[in-house]
Amino acid sequence: MQKASRENEQLIEEYFNYLRIERGLSVNTCRSYRRDLHKFLEYVEQNNKNILTCNTSVLLDFVICYKELGHSAKSIARYTAALRGFYNYLVQEDKRSDDPTIYLNAPKMEQSLPDVLAENILNKAMIGSADQNHLDIRDKAIVEILYSCGLRVSEVIKISLNDISFDLGYLRCKGKGDKERIVPVGELALAVLGEYINRSRQMILAQNKKPRAEDRNTLFLNSKGRPLSRQAIWQILKKWAKKQGLGNNVYPHLLRHSFATHLLENGADLRSVQEMLGHADISTTQIYTHLSKKRLLEVFRKAHPRAK
């Protein structure tokens, strides 16, 4: 039982790191999720179950148990949200083939709109990025890809040199479940990417005295010439944002949110944005349709015959 406990604890810690690094959630929010998941872990192990094998009925029993103990509807909804996020992550990472939370119902939580950076502020920061050394050029290329293509961190670290087509202006990436998709890359991003590959990447790779095939093929490398980790991307973005005066609250998914929102605000259709983001369900993409009142008024004035 102790071995199972260590394995389950490790899974929760890996999920905690994922929330902090890739999703950019605050430390306090992550701690809340971890606290709720540890309550579930205690319940699972008390009933001689394992996180990776327990089914929907175990999760339902857990929720009912805490409801009978007098926990509020808000707390139950939070537990359910924590379980859904956790098992979605396990499926995404191929640690489970099924999602036992699919039939798990709870009081609905109000869905908050994603944070985004204003288009003019972000463009100004991108232009203001100074090329000082090989790592700075690499960092600028990473930021360009995060924003210009709307990629997840897990997708960025998997990009290989063969995934990029400079002639056609696209890159191939592997999303959730290793599902491949083609994403357009703008001219500005291609120019920055080309500068990194032609000017900096070989110098960075040279720091690796015994490069493997993976090191030679992976697009973005760390200072030692090896593939970057999720955490390294998060740190690079934090450092870049601080240099550009964007503050400390910039994280990779914020650029993905900004990518989708700016596309829609400038006239892109929802289906195209869904495809570029790699969303299986368009309802996930619809959260980005929170256009400003100013934008809606502009559309109305241009499109309606009685608006003028």
Dihedral sign (CA 169, 261, 245, 237): negative
CB of 281 within 8 A of CB of 287? no
From the CB of residue 109, how many other CB atoms can be counted at a distance below 10 Å? 11
CB of 247 within 8 A of CB of 229? no
Of 287, 257, 242, 234, the C-alpha closest to 24 is 234
Region of 225 on the Ramachandran plot (φ > 0 left; ψ -120 to 50 alpha; else beta) = left
Q: Would you please indicate which residues are annotated as catalytic (active-site) residues?
A: 152, 176, 253, 256, 279, 288
**Using CA atoms, how far apart are residues 236 and 246, in angstroms rounded to an integer?**
14
CB of 270 within 8 A of CB of 285? yes
Alpha-carbon 126 to chain mean position: 20
DSSP string, 185-231: --HHHHHHHHHIIIIIIHHHHTT-SS--HHHHHBSSB-TTSSBPPHH
